Amino acid sequence: MARIVVVGSINMDLVTTVGRRPEAGETVSGDRFALVPGGKGSNQAIAARRAGAEVELVGAVGADVFAEALRRVLRDAGVGDSGLRAVEGPSGIASIVVDGGGENTIIVVAGANGRMTELSAADLDAIAGADVLMCQLEIPVLTVLAAARHARANGTVVLLNPSPVQELPDEVWAEVDVAVVNEGEAARLAGVLTAVPHVVTTLGAAGASYRGPGGLALAHPGVRVQVVDTTGAGDAFTGALAAHWHEGPATALAWACTAGALTTTKLGASASIPESAEIERLLAETEVR
Ligand code: RIB
């Protein structure tokens, strides 16, 4: 079983579903509203746990009504939360609109995630003892850099999902072993990704591709499902990939594509991330066909 430490965000997602998004200045009636724990760090931690890894999240919640629910979702999923600190002010939130086609738009307000500026001695020990460190870009870049440096120095694989995409100092890229990007991120980061040893690119309904050392290239086709909400699909993909990375890129891609596809079949990020039995069942069916 892989041991994974996620240094990343945790948000409360305020999710509204609507047939059609409003134009600027227009008011429309929505269909449903739900509060669903999310955040790329937390979603990826839960996804890795459900895909079979032992996982700990290092992150921050605020001092508000959302903090307890955010902590509980990790505990219920079996993700270690001893690295989750409480800081002053609000927790991170994401305002998410899901349209009739299952596509989303997301506005994130960092809150406590923006104050995740220090790593404790216990956090550093956890990173050093893990097989994989998994990070995203919803916490300060300097914290990601400190975690990645420490991981590299201790032989822990550094997996970065550079989302929301932004320019990063070269020092960060120098520490990355595996980058997981979508097509937009791949285009925007094309220059820097050439120096990353392993690059996995998600292709939406078309599956994913992998480029590794020595020109090794692989692809996994899309897994056909009925799409309800694409929120968190990339996170489920990344978490499952990390959980199975030690089995090689072909197996990891298959788990990742299947977990990502299953996540789109329900509303809400953390609520829709599949358990490993569900992933294994669909994997087996896909192989038989
Ligand atoms: O990737 C989906 C996540 O992005 C949501 O859960 C939201 O919190 C934002 O971080």
Per-residue pLDDT of 184-218, as tens digits, reads 999 999 999 999 999 999 999 999 999 999 989 99
> Given the CA of residue 163, which atom of ligand 1 is nearest to it?
1
Tell which one of 166, 182, 235 to mutate to probe ligand 1, the residue whose CB is within 8 A of the most ligand atoms.
Answer: 235
Is the Cβ atom of 229 under 6 angstroms away from ligand 1? no
The pLDDT, as a whole number, for residue 244 is 98
The pLDDT, as a whole number, for residue 271 is 80
Low-confidence ranges of the chain (pLDDT < 70): 287-289
The pLDDT, as a whole number, for residue 289 is 46
Read off the pTM: 0.96
The pLDDT, as a whole number, for residue 101 is 85
What phi and psi, each to the nearest 5 degrees, are found at residue 97? -115, 125
pLDDT, tens digit (0-9, with 9 covering 90-100), for 19-29: 999 999 999 99
**DSSP per position, 149-216:** HHHHHTT-EEEE---S-----HHHHHT-SEEEEEHHHHHHTHHHHTTSSEEEEE-GGG-EEEE-GGG-
